[in-house]
A and B are shown apart, each in its own frame.
Chain A
């Protein structure tokens, strides 16, 4: 079975899987960064690593990118020109309120479907799509219900694992550390960034809300099963395009509504705002977050040099937690 790699949360893995292909949401790492790019300055470290990983992948059947961020849109041009595997750029509108934007998203899913068929996939019937959607929905429900008895790191790992294979190893309960409840907010994390969860726990805190793109925030909500049976593709679009809050949306008020709800619901006392240098979409939200959310915010920027940044990040988190304790 061919594997289709992607990273954007607005790409439904179910749609790829329903075409008989393996959907793998990759979590790139700093070490994957494409060093062949003409220049590094100005390039978001995540995009750089994503390009590197796609370019190095000789096994995948195809890569799917989206227009959600400008640099990822440009990354598609690089991959198309120099990469070895077929690539597809999916238009994900920034506006979301109009029926036209929602219809565009559905049309783009259908266009993605045609790309998948070209790669050897099979166009799914409504029943087949519904079945795959239910399977993914069940897996996500298992993950969500495990949140209360998993460490933040294990919970984040479970989400990532689900995205790679939609199968979960048994999620055993583990003793949870007590600590200042924190939220981690921002764009996607890279593999080695997952050490942040451990770091926070070692320093006396606990991430109770993973509001990154690779965490809770990027997970599509539960499907409405009645609507799913009636029109699965429409329900897929509603759940993904209509429900995942993100900094890129215009306006992005839904991101703040989601955050406010979750922050209160999980009694969060402080926010670690994790952003990449040159990621304008998230960087611009920092000031707004501070204006709007009445919680202390710690800004952690990353240029993708984890080994150099670790001591600085650790010191900043330590100071942040001392202030909160």
Chain B
């Protein structure tokens, strides 16, 4: 069955699912109609629009069944590691063991959105003194208290140092509630001094050799802790194999991102791309299945690109998106307002860039960890954004502020200034709370204005070109 790509509602997906099911759609064990997740409390799903491909269905079902996978892993005797904040480094180590899975409790920050506040996690955070002046990741505290959204991990590992204060403070609060945390330090990445030994990092960055050595020593501590938990040694061979597997995921995602951001018309919606990118961080608790899900999505996109088909108008304004959104619906809104994703920087480019395979594995991970955009300066981050804007051909940059996040207060100014100085393209900031319904008119107006500005600039460029 060949259908035109389009964005459809949950209701429309149910009808389509029936058709696909009757036609013999092959499905994994976690498959099924998307609407069944609403009965689990995921009310936001009713308000989203989805890509209509079976590959997208699999992606969503994979995402929304992670909790079941974690419980199954525990039942199977596997050790569960809650990795916190580093976004992409420690899970590579954890998944190199046979008997370990890792996930990010930080991911609970989307629960208030997906469950439209019905889980009460933010109220619990409030009661613990972590109110709305903190980033929505405070929902994680509530999730630990209720134990209703993920099994309590056997071990918590949290990176601190050059991270956001919100998370660091919330993790400390969690620690104060009796959850033991293994802390490891990620220093602020700085420019090497003159004549100082330098190491290249993923993403075209560099750092002083001594900083790489320091992070390597920190990760060696993490490795020992994981080995004790697993009751097995993690030798270089196994860790290298884990890195190769991680790179396969990253490679697949890189291809998907390039097509999604550059093909015309846009072959896949922004929301599915956001979910796909998230898989690179910890594989949604199943690395092998992540590969299958991404490959299927990539195949779908390739077919669409070859056929010249897409989900949006060909003249959609090409927007580069900075920071993840707390409300998933805003990704839909961008497209409703005439925009399309043309590059992203969701604060984990270091989880997307290939991990070096030509150096010892622990050093490779240290280099990847130091390439974290959060670990470096806002100026570094802005320069990477400029480079990716050029690579994907974006026409404007949208900075989506995270409410309460310590880094968002000042970095937006730096990013805006650097992008404007370097590229001279429009930059717009919006702030997105976990459920943005009440702010939707304001956000919509701003997104529409951005899309209109981009199109006006296009017309102006075309006129100049015509007039010689």
Binding site for B on A (CB under 8 A): 37-39, 41-44, 47, 67, 69-71, 73-78, 80-81, 89, 91, 93-95, 98, 100-101, 104, 107, 111, 114, 247-248, 250-252, 277-281, 283-288, 290-292
Contacts and interface: CB of A to CB of B under 8 A. Distances in A.
A96 to B, nearest CB: 9
Given A42-B409, A280-B165, A74 B378 contact: yes
Interface string B394-434: 00000001001111111111101100000000000000000
A195 to B, nearest CB: 25
A289 to B, nearest CB: 9
Contact of B176 (A73, A78, A80, A292): A292
A43 B134 CA distance: 12
B429 to A, nearest CB: 8
A131 B163 CA distance: 37
A292 B407 CA distance: 29
B286 interface: no
Contacts of B210: 107
Contact of A89 (B165, B171, B188, B193): B188
A95 B185 contact: yes
A48 to B, nearest CB: 9
Contacts of B378: 74, 77
Interface stretch (B20-28, B125-133, B244-252): B125-133
A80 B45 CA distance: 44
B162 to A, nearest CB: 6
B73 interface: no
A280 B409 contact: no
Contacts of B221: 98
Contacts of A76: 377
B369 to A, nearest CB: 15
A68 B417 CA distance: 25
B458 interface: no
B118 interface: no
Contacts of A80: 379
B142 to A, nearest CB: 13
Given A100-B218, A284-B130, A71 B183 contact: no
B214 A281 contact: no
Interface string B105-139: 00000000000000000000000111001100000
Contact of A73 (B158, B188, B416): B188
A16 to B, nearest CB: 19
A44 B133 CA distance: 11
Max chain B Cβ within 10 angstroms of own Cβ: one of A37, A74, A247? A74
Secondary structure dominating the interface of A = helix
A67 B404 CA distance: 19
B217 A100 contact: yes
B409 A288 contact: no
Contacts of A100: 185, 214, 217-218
B160 interface: yes
Contacts of A95: 160-161, 183-185
A303 B158 CA distance: 30
Contacts of A250: 158, 160, 168, 171-172, 181, 183
A81 B188 contact: no
B371 interface: no
Interface string B279-308: 000000000000000000000000000000
Nearest to B405: A42
A291 B411 CA distance: 34
24 contacts: A37-B410, A42-B409, A47-B410, A67-B161, A67-B162, A70-B164, A70-B168, A70-B406, A71-B410, A73-B162, A74-B414, A95-B160, A95-B185, A98-B221, A100-B185, A111-B193, A114-B193, A250-B158, A251-B183, A278-B406, A284-B170, A284-B173, A285-B172, A287-B129
Given A77-B378, A280-B406, A94 B168 contact: yes
Contacts of A111: 193
Contacts of A292: 176
Contacts of B408: 42
